[in-house]
Amino acid sequence: MIEATSPQPIDYTLYLVTDRDLMSSATIEESVDLAIQGGCTVVQLREKTADSREFFEMARRVREVTRSAGVPLIINDRVDIALAIDADGVHVGQRDLPATEVRRLIGIDKLLGVSVNDLDQALAAERDGADYIGVGAMFATDTKTEADTSSFEELTAIRSAVEVPIVVIGGINAHTIPLFKNTGIDGIAVVSAIVAQQDPAAAARHLKALFAKEVAH
Amino acid sequence: MIEATSPQPIDYTLYLVTDRDLMSSATIEESVDLAIQGGCTVVQLREKTADSREFFEMARRVREVTRSAGVPLIINDRVDIALAIDADGVHVGQRDLPATEVRRLIGIDKLLGVSVNDLDQALAAERDGADYIGVGAMFATDTKTEADTSSFEELTAIRSAVEVPIVVIGGINAHTIPLFKNTGIDGIAVVSAIVAQQDPAAAARHLKALFAKEVAH
C-alpha cells in the first residue's frame, strides 16, 4: 500500500514563515536558526520578492540550518526550487500551481501544504492530496494585505470536515493565541511575531509555551 | 550513448518571446497563434508579472496552440511550470536557477536555453548543458532595461568559441537584422517587433524573409 503522507509525523505546533522584509536578523539563515532555537517545529521559506537565483541560494543556505536541526523545510510556491534543493515540501496558495499538479511534480514523499480561506477550498485541498492546510488569514495583517480573512466559524466548519492537520495563519501572536482554545487546530503559523522581534528565539519560546498552555489538545 | 540534445533538430530562425504588456492581441494565445502563422519557429513564454496560477493557465493554453502547430514551446525561468504543462524546454537567465540544476530537473529530453551576456557566460552555459544560447541584449530596449548590452565583438568571440546554436536578442527588428550578416548566428529572438505590431503575422513574415535574405548562412 502506498502512503500519500510522510512516514514521520510532523509536529506543526510552531510553524515559522519567513519574510526578509520584516526580519530583525541580518540574514535569513540566522533568523531561521534563532527561531528553531526557540522551538519552531516547521520552517516555510516564503520570499515573494527574490529573483529565482536569489531564492535558490537562500533556500540552500536555510536548508543547511533546518537539516542540522532536524526541522522540515517547506518552500512556498516554487516547486522547482523545492526540488532543486531537496526541501521537505512545498506550500501553495490558491494563486500558485494547483495542488494536484504540485503533488504530481513532488511525488508522495514530500509534504504538500495548501492555504485555504474557506470550507470549499479546504475540502478541495484535502481531496487533492494536501498533507496539511493553512487556514487564514485569521486576522488582517501587514504581510497579507490582500488576503481575505477567515472567520472562527469557518475554521470550526473546516476542522469538522477535514482530517488533515490545520495550522492557522495571519495575525497570530501572544494576544490572539488564546482565542484558538478548543478549535482543534494543530499549530500556529507565525511571521512577524517571531522574525520581526528583537529576540526571535525568546519570541518563539514564549509563543510555543502559550500555545501549549492555552490551545494544544 | 546518451544524447544530451533533443533528437529533432530545432529551427531557431525566428524565435518569439512573449510579453503580455506589449502585445497588440487580446490574448497571449492569439498573439502566439498569429506569430506562428507568420513563420515563428520557436515560442518562449516569458511572463515576469503573472502569478504562478496565471502563468500556469496561460502556459497550458499556449501549449495547445504550439502543439497543434508543431512548434516548440519553451518556458522562461519557471521549471516547475514547464514540467507541469510538459513544455518542450526551459530558458533561464543568469538570475534564474543555475543551468546545471535545470538540466537535472528537466532531464535530457527537454531543451535548455541560457541567456548570456559575454564569452565566459557562453562557455559556462555550453559546459552546463545548454542546447542553445541567447546572446544579448544586442541593443538597449524597453523590455530589457536592466540588461547589459553585448557588443558585436563579443558575439563574434562567442560564435568562435561555442558549438551550440546562437540566437540574438534585444532590439532585433527590420533595421537591425542586416547588421548580423556573417555573424554565424542561427536565429533572431524577437519580442515587440512581432507581438506589439498591429499585424503580428505580417511582421513575423517580414522579419523571417529579411533574416533569410540578409543573414542565414
Residue A43 and residue A91: Cα distance in Å, rounded? 11
Pairwise CA distance, residues B183 & B165, whole Å: 12
Helix axes A28-37, A200-214, angle to 10 degrees: 40
pLDDT digits 0-9 by tens, A33-86: 999 999 999 999 999 899 999 999 999 999 999 999 999 999 999 999 999 999
pTM of the model: 0.93
Class of domain A14-214: alpha beta
Q: Which of B46, B103, B110, B208 is catalytic?
A: B46
From B20, B78, B103, B144, the catalytic residue: B144
Q: What are the pLDDT digits (tens) for B9-44?
A: 899 999 999 998 898 888 999 999 999 999 999 999
ipTM comes to: 0.92
Q: What are the φ and ψ backbone dihedral angles of A76, each rounded to 5 degrees?
A: -80, 125
Write down the mean pLDDT value for chain A: 93
Q: Which residues of B touch A147 (CB under 8 A)?
A: none
pLDDT at B143: 59
Q: Are strands B42-45 and A73-76 parallel, antiparallel or unpaired?
A: unpaired
B122: cis peptide before it, omega within 30°? no
Residues A61-70: contacts with CB under 8 Å, at least 24 apart: A61/A27, A61/A28, A61/A29, A62/A18, A62/A28, A62/A29, A62/A32, A63/A87, A64/A29, A65/A29, A65/A32, A65/A33, A65/A36, A66/A32, A66/A36, A69/A33, A69/A36
Q: Are A98 and A121 in contact (CB under 8 A)?
A: no
DSSP H or E stretch at residue B45: strand B42-45
Question: Chain B window 63-82: which residues touch A at a Cβ cutoff of 8 Å?
Answer: 77-81
What b/e sequence results for A194-211 when a residue is b if at least 16 CB atoms lie within 10 Å of its CB, and e otherwise?
bbbbeebbebbbbbbebb
Cross-chain CB nearest to B95 (options A51, A80, A81): A51
Chain B residue numbers with beta carbons less than 8 Å from the beta carbon of A91 are none
Per-residue confidence (pLDDT) for residue B13, from 0 to 100: 98
Residue B169: closest CA among B99, B103, B76, B78: B76
Q: Does B98 touch chain A if contact means CB atoms closer than 8 Å?
A: yes
In sequence order, the β-bridge partners of residue A17 are A44
Q: Which residue ranges in chain A fall short of pLDDT 70?
A: 1-7, 142-147
Omega into B137 within 30° of 0, i.e. cis? Answer: yes
The span from the CA of A33 to the CA of B209, in Å, is 59
Cell numbers found for residue A29: 539563515
Average pLDDT over residues B66-83: 98
How many whole angstroms separate alpha carbon A35 and alpha carbon A14? 10
Residue A141's pLDDT is 73
Q: Which residues of A touch B124 (CB under 8 A)?
A: none
A52 and B95 in contact by Cβ < 8 A? yes
